[in-house]
A = this chain, B = another copy of it.
């Protein structure tokens, strides 16, 4: 019973690690779609998300099967519950990548990004992809130090997010309201994607050490 349990737990960790890598690919495709106003890359992102969604449903079933196998020991139950929460984070990361792609498709054949913020979104895409990779590594290695450091990587995203808002709020913004509205929402999608990667790090720290890192502060909407 114990052996089957540990085998299935390792399989679940492996599934989720691979899912993080798929969300990394999805946000990379979404960013490519955005930078090049490329509808094929946008469609690819939405296909990526459908795939992620199906794998998340499967991973959730695996976590439920683990609960059914598991003796009711409080600590281990909490750990399995946190696996299910990681599934929800990964699913949401995929959905956010798809939201970026949908804006690209809605505006096609127009470019969503004014040239001057292209670099900015390329950076947000790079950081989002790195965060997904870090979450993947943390799920594979279960290294709590690396997990706790995901939050530092997220500071870079928060900085990019703030800079973009400053640019949008500036009197010198010349690209009008519709572009600003799109960019504000896009920036929010990238920021939320990053937040979920941070949450995955927090949950792995909890699984490994039993300690909960403080939550992200209210105020970072």
Mark A residues whose CB is within 8 Å of B.
46, 49, 60, 63-64, 67-70, 72-74, 77-78, 81, 84-85, 88, 95, 98-99, 102-103, 165, 168-169, 173, 176-178, 180-181, 184-185, 188-189, 218-219, 221
Taking a contact as CB atoms under 8 Å apart, the answer to whether B49 and A102 are in contact is: no
Taking a contact as CB atoms under 8 Å apart, the answer to whether A221 and B185 are in contact is: yes
Q: Tell me the nearest residue of chain B to A183, going by C-beta.
A: B181
Give min CB distance, A99 to chain B, whole Å.
Answer: 4
**Identical copies of this chain, number:** 2
Cβ–Cβ < 8 Å partners of A165 in chain B: 181
Cβ–Cβ < 8 Å partners of A184 in chain B: 181, 184-185
Give min CB distance, A97 to chain B, whole Å.
Answer: 11
Which listed residue (B67, B168, B177, B189) contacts A67, Cβ 8 A? B67
Which listed residue (B81, B98, B189) contacts A84, Cβ 8 A? B81
